[in-house]
Amino acid sequence: MYFKLIIQVLGGLVLFIFGMTTLSDSLQKVASNKIKSIMNILAKKPWASVLVGLSTTMVIQSSSATSVMTVGFVNAGLMTLKTAIGIIMGANIGTTITAQIVSFNIIDAFSYPLIIVGFVMFFVSKRRRYKNIGMAIIGLGLLFLGMNLMKQSLEPLKDNLGFKNFLLIFSKDPFLGLLAGLIITSILQSSSATIGLLIALAAQGLMPITAAVPILFGDNIGTCATALIASAGTTVTARRTAFAHLLFNIFGTVLFFTLLYGFKLGTWLFPHIGNTVPHQIANMHTIFNTTTTIILFPIIGLFEKLVVKLYPGKDVVEHKNAIFLDERLIKTPAIALDQAKKELHRLAKIVKVMLDAAFARLNNKDTNLEKRVLDREAAVDSVTEDIIRYLTQVSRQSLTLTLSNKLTNLMHIAYTTERTGDHAESMLYLMIVKEENRMIFSKIEIEELGNLNDKVISMFDILLNGMENGNIEIFENCERIEAEIDEIVKSMRLNHLKRLQKGESMPLSGVIFSDIVLHFERTGDLLYDISRNLLEIGVS
C-alpha cells in the first residue's frame, strides 16, 4: 500500500514540476524579447524594478527563472545591483500567484480540458508563437493534473494517525519544519512544487497550518539555491545578486519566526488569513513575501550596502551598452561625433582584451579565458550596434562636408573593430579545437605565434595610445608594422611548409596553426585600416 502511495505521490509531484517547467519555458519563449526590453527600459528606478520583477514572474510563472535571468543581466553589466534587488523583491511576490491558483478546488475540473486545448493548439498551429502558447497551456494542465494526482494519492492517509502525528512534529518544533522546507526545495529547485505538496497534504486534512508555515519559510530560503547555482563563475556583482535574494528571504524568515513563535502571534493570525488550510498556506506565502518587500523596499539603498559589506570583492564588468552616447547631443553633431569617438576607443580596448585572452588560451587551460572572450564578444556586438544606431541618427542632422566625412569614417571604424573582435573569437575556438583533439604545436611554432602576436598587439597599442592622447603622427607607424606582419606571416608559412615536408609537423595541427596565422594576418589588416580612417578624420 505504502509503496504504491509513494510512487503515486512522486508521480504527481513529477507531473507538477514538469508542468511548471513546461509552462515557464514556453512562456519565456513567447515573451522573452519583450521581457528583456521591459527589464532594460523600466528597471532604472527601484519602484519600477519591483514592478518588472512582479510582472515578469507572473508571466513566466517562475521566480527562479526571473532570478537567474536577473543574475545574467547583472553579470552582463546591463543592470546594477540595486535594480536587481528590486526585481528580486518583485519576483518573490509574483511567485505567490502559483500557490494562489493551486489552492482553489477549480483546478480539478480544468486539468484535462487544458491539456486537450493545448495539444490541439500545438499540433494545429504552424506559427512558432502559437505552438509555444499551446505548450504553455499543456504545462498548466499538467501542473493541475499533478496537483490532482497528489491529492488523490494522499487521500488514504486521512485516517492514518501515525502519519498525522509525524506531520505534527513540525508544529511542535518549527525549526525542523524550516529545515525540511529548505532541503526539499533545494533538491526540487522549485518553491512552487514544495508549496503544491503542502497544499495537497492540507487538502486531505493531513497538514495543519501550524505545521505548514515553518516548512513554507524554509521553502522560501531553499528557492534561492537556483540563483546561487546560476551565479557560480559569474562576476562579484552577479554573485551578490544571488546573495541578496538569500538575504532577503533569511530576513523575512527571522522576522516572521520572531512574530509568530517569539511573540506567539500565529494563534491569532492563522484563522484570519483563510477559510481553509490550502488558502491559509497560499495567503501566508503572499503575506510573507509582500510584507518583507514592504519593509525592505524603502531602505533598498541600505540593503544594497549591507549586501556589498557582507559579500566583499571587486570586479570589472564590460558594460554591454554604450556609456558615452548621449541622445541629447545628437542635435549638436560635432559633439555627438566626439562622443562616438570615445565609445569607439572603449570598444577597441575591449577587443584588445579579447585578443590577449584568446592567445593566452594557447598554453592555458583556464576556462575563465574563454568566458573573458565570449562575454566581451557579446559586449562588442551590442556596443557596435549602439554606435551605428547613434551615428545613423546623427547623419539625419544637417552636416558639413567635414562632419559628414568624419561620420562615415567613424562608422567604418565601428564595423572594422567589430570584425576584429570576431577574429579574436575565432582564434579562441581554434585554441579549444587544438586542445580537445590533443594537437601539439612544436616549440618553434609556439615561438613564431608569440612573435606574431606581439607585433599585432604592438599595433593595437599604437592605435589605443593615439586615440587616447590625440597623437595623429603615431598612426603612421601602423603602416610599417603592418608590412612587418606581412613579412612575418610569409616567413611562417614558408617555414611551416618545410616542417610539413620533413614530417616535423602533423597535417591536422598544421591546419589549426595556419588558420591562427591567417586570423592574426587579417587582424593586422583591420587594425591598419582603422589607423587609415583615424588619420583621415584626425584625433582631437
**For residue range 305-359, what is the model confidence (pLDDT) as tens digits?**
999 999 987 765 556 678 788 887 888 898 889 899 999 999 999 999 999 999 9
For residues 96 and 232, which has the higher predicted lDDT (pLDDT)?
Answer: 96
> Is the Cβ–Cβ distance between 375 and 318 less than 8 Å?
yes
Indicate the DSSP class of residue 439. Answer: -
Domain 327-537 bears CATH identifier 3.55.50.30? no
Predicted confidence band at 540 (pLDDT cuts at 50, 70, 90)?
Answer: very low
In the structure, what pLDDT confidence band is assigned to residue 366 with cuts at 50, 70 and 90?
Answer: confident
Question: In whole numbers, what is the pLDDT of the chain averaged over residues?
Answer: 86
> Does position 78 have pLDDT exceeding 80, yes or no?
no
Cell digits of residue 173: 518544533
Measured CA to CA, the distance from residue 438 to residue 359 in angstroms comes to: 17
Give the mean model confidence (pLDDT) for residues 508-534: 93
* Residue 317: closest CA among 72, 531, 525: 72
* Confidence at residue 190, expressed as pLDDT on a 0 to 100 scale: 74
Confidence label for 31 from pLDDT (cuts 50, 70 and 90): low
**Is there a contact between 253 and 220 (Cβ–Cβ < 8 Å)?**
yes
Helix (H, G, I), strand (E, B) or coil at 401: helix
Per-residue pLDDT, 473: 81
Q: Return d(Cα 126, Cα 25) in angstroms, integer.
A: 19
Q: Which three cell numbers stand for residue 205?
A: 486534512
Instruction: Give the separation between CA 441 and CA 425, rounded to whole angstroms.
Output: 20
Question: Which of residues 407 and 102 earns the better pLDDT score?
Answer: 407
pTM for the structure as a whole: 0.63
pLDDT at position 329, please? 85
Alpha helices, DSSP H only, in 365-442? 367-395, 401-436
C-alpha cell at 25: 519555458
What pLDDT, on the 0 to 100 scale, is given for residue 423?
95
SS (H, E, C) 149-193: HHHHHHHHHHHCHHHHHHHHHHHHCHHHHHHHHHHHHHHHCCHHH
Q: Under a CB-based contact definition with an 8 Å cutoff, are residues 215 and 177 in contact?
A: yes
Q: Is 399 left (phi over 0), alpha (psi -120 to 50) or beta?
A: beta
Does an H or E element contain 34, and which?
Answer: helix 2-42
Contact indicator for 205, 278 with CB cutoff of 8 Å: no
At 227-273, the pLDDT tens digits run 887 777 667 888 899 999 999 999 999 999 999 998 889 889 999 99
Report DSSP letters for 468-530, one per residue.
Answer: HHT-SGGGHHHHHHHHHHHHHHHHHHHHHHHHHHHTSS-HHHHHHHHHHHHHHHHHHHHHHHH
Q: What integer pLDDT is reported at residue 1 of this predicted model?
A: 57
* pLDDT above 90 (res 412): yes
Q: What end-to-end distance do the CA atoms of the chain give, in Å?
A: 84
Q: Which comes out higher in pLDDT, residue 242 or 168?
A: 242
Q: Which phi and psi (to 5°) does residue 316 adopt? A: -110, 120
For residue 468, what pLDDT is reported? 85
Q: Give the DSSP per-residue string, 81-127.
A: HHHHHHHHHHHHHHTHHHHHHHTSTTHHHHHHHHHHHHHHHHHH--S
Q: Hey, what amino acid is at 35?
A: I
Pick the closest to residue 225 from 269, 267, 181, 280 (CA basis): 181
Residue 150 binned pLDDT confidence (cut-offs 50, 70, 90):
confident
26 vs 30: CA distance, rounded Å: 6
Name the phi and psi angles at 538, rounded to 5: 80, 155
Other CB atoms within a 10 A radius of the CB of residue 441 amount to 20
Question: pLDDT-derived band of residue 52, with 50, 70 and 90 as boundaries?
Answer: confident
Which range among 199-203, 224-228, 366-370 shows the weakest confidence by mean pLDDT?
A: 366-370
With a cut of 80, say whether residue 127 has pLDDT above it.
Answer: yes
The total number of residues shown for the chain amounts to 540
Please identify which residue in the block is written with the cell numbers 534561492: 224
Task: Give the rounded percent of residues in the chain with a pLDDT score beyond 70.
Answer: 91
According to DSSP H, which parts of 223-265 are helical? 224-230, 236-257
Collapsed DSSP state (helix, strand, coil) of residue 326: coil
Q: Count how many Cα atoms sit within 13 Å of the Cα of residue 352 in the half-sphere of its side chain.
A: 19
Q: Does residue 194 contact residue 184 with C-beta atoms inside 8 Å?
A: yes
Question: What is the spatial distance between Cα 57 and Cα 87, in angstroms, rounded to a whole number?
Answer: 10
φ and ψ at residue 393, rounded to 5 degrees: -65, -40
The full set of domain ranges for the chain reads 2-310, 327-537
More confident residue, 221 or 44: 221
Kindly tell me if the per-residue pLDDT of 79 is higher than 60. Answer: yes
Distance, CA of 257 to CA of 275 (rounded, Å): 23
